[in-house]
Structure 1
Amino acid sequence: MSLTWTDIQRKRLTELNATEMQKERFFSVEKDRDEAFKKQELSLVSAGKQRLNQLRTEKKRPSLSVLETNLVAALTDSGFVQVTTPIILAKSLLAKMTIDDEHALFSQVFWLDSKKCLRPMLAPNLYYILKDLLRLWEKPVRIFEIGSCFRKESQGNNHLNEFTMLNLVEWGLPEESRHERLAELAEVVMQAAGVPSYRLEQTSSVVYGDTIDVMYEDIELGSGAMGPHFLDGKWGMSGPWVGIGFGLERLVMVKEGGQNVRSTGKSLSYLDGVRLNI
């Protein structure tokens, strides 16, 4: 007879950021399993305490905050301008992204009332701002935003209800250079994030249609699109552009070898990847 961890033991190991290998051990008898669990838990707790001490004495800032600083520096050095927009989004702006009552994403939106919601993405506000900036500034216009977004996501290891997005857009570049430019901008972000190993993969999304995703193994770190795009006309805009959106918590998780994106996000239970009930 082969035994593995109990549900309670497995949950605790997951909380403590155990690796898949550590969570897939097998035993012949309960005594061996329970003794192994105590040793494994003690080792993970010790590692967590060391990391918290490092945060207190050396880092002073969690990795998510450090990543945001690094991304701002890298993108502004690359000619991008940072913008900040409201978290509360009008339903009418969401509808311009084709997200209406029949859309697959509609049920994931946190509605505040019949006309307002917490933004599930940064793109509507960036479209809104770009419409004026394209009139006021010479092309190319390069902007980006980093901020919280909210979705009623499934509670898997790679999803959060509140997550931090980076969305960058470059509008007004030569149409024939879009694919090359998208790859260049992905490289800027991945280098700033300290994740040099990745691949670009063509796929599709429920909002943008055809997309080019930034993948690490089987984890989607970012998703890129380019225009002219069918959404542009809804905003009264036209012309070639490229844009990419990244989830910062996933970038931190991959860079630091984490197993659970909830540990890298904004939390009352975790601090800089460490479960606090240790």
Structure 2
Amino acid sequence: MSILWSESQKKRLGELGAKNEQMIIEFDTLKERDSEFKKIEKVLAREGRSRLEEYRKMTKRPPICELETKLINALNNIGFVQVTTPVLLSKGLLEKMTIDDNHTLFSQVFWVDGGKCLRPMLAPNLYYILKDLVRIWEMPVRIFEIGSCFRKESQGSEHLSEFTMLNLVEWGTADEDREKRIEELAKVVMKTVGIEGYHLERTSSVVYGDTVDVMLCDTELGSSAMGPHFLDEKWGMTGPWIGIGFGLERLLMAKEGGRNIHSMGKSITYLNGVRLNI
């Protein structure tokens, strides 16, 4: 019977950024496995130190910060305006998104004192801003935000408790152009990140209902919705619109071919994607 990596060995190799082929090696004996583990761990640690030294000399920014700048520039160039909103949300704003005490997502929200929570999504704040901007500005109104969101569900190598979202909304898109516009804006983001071979897939969301997801193989990189939508009336709004949300850490993981999303985001144990306990 073939012998595989132990759970602790597998975890360590994942932290050090082992490649797929290094994670699925089979062995005849435990001695052979443990000897090979020490060799691979040593090589990956040496590669990590080299990357950290290069990072230091080049005075580079964390990849997620560089990606954020690229996305801001790309969206500004096609007429989108950046907004920034508070991280704390009131319970009432979440209820307008149908997330009440009985909702599936309610238990995944980080609640703080006074009926407030750390935002699990950017949408409530964007709705709040849009209800005034569509009154002040000519159509279409194009805005986006990039910022931290928080969910307790986030466990494992593909999820984070704190993650970075890009949400972009175009309010006033002509009804007949909505699906085409989703394709165009997804292409802008994917080109900016440097990801090819993605596709769009129809699915559903517990908040938005029918959605169109941006997929790379079986991995969801982004999710889009369009209106008029049943949520709009809760904000006193009407009219056609489209919106797309992307997780930046997941985009980076897809771009780099990584296995561990924790190395892509805000961290005190990783720098430039390199585990620091090497």
**Cα distance between partner residues in 2 of 1:58 and 1:103:** 47
Moved more, 53-62 or 259-268: 53-62
CA drift at 1:188:
0.6
CA drift at 1:29:
1.1
* Structure 1 runs not aligned, ≥5 long: none
SS of 1:31 mapped into structure 2: helix
CA drift at 1:113:
2.5
On the 8 A contact 1:55/1:62 being kept in 2, the answer is: no
Aligned residues: 278
**Cα distance between partner residues in 1 of 2:10 and 2:112:** 36
Distance 1:59-1:225 versus aligned 2 partners, 3 A rule: farther
Deviations 1:216-274 (A, max 9, x none): 11111100000000100000001000000000000111111111101101011111211
| Residue 195 of structure 2: aligned partner | 195
Matches within 5 A, 1:23-38: 23-38=23-38
| Residue 256 of structure 1: aligned partner | 256
| Residue 171 of structure 2: aligned partner | 171
**Cα distance between partner residues in 1 of 2:154 and 2:71:** 27
TM-score, length of structure 1 as denominator length: 0.98
SS of 1:111 mapped into structure 2: strand
* Structure 2 runs not aligned, ≥5 long: none
CA drift at 1:32:
1.0
| Residue 85 of structure 1: aligned partner | 85
Moved more, 135-144 or 39-48: 39-48
2:131 equivalent to 1:128: no
On the 8 A contact 1:258/1:273 being kept in 2, the answer is: no
Moved more, 12-21 or 132-141: 12-21
Deviations 1:164-215 (A, max 9, x none): 0000000001100000000000001111111122111100011000000011
SS of 2:112 mapped into structure 1: coil
Moved more, 203-212 or 36-45: 36-45
Runs of 4+ off more than 2 Å: none
**Cα distance between partner residues in 1 of 2:5 and 2:102:** 42
2:12 equivalent to 1:12: yes
**Alignment RMSD (CA, Å):** 1.0
TM-score, length of structure 2 as denominator length: 0.98
**Cα distance between partner residues in 1 of 2:178 and 2:237:** 17
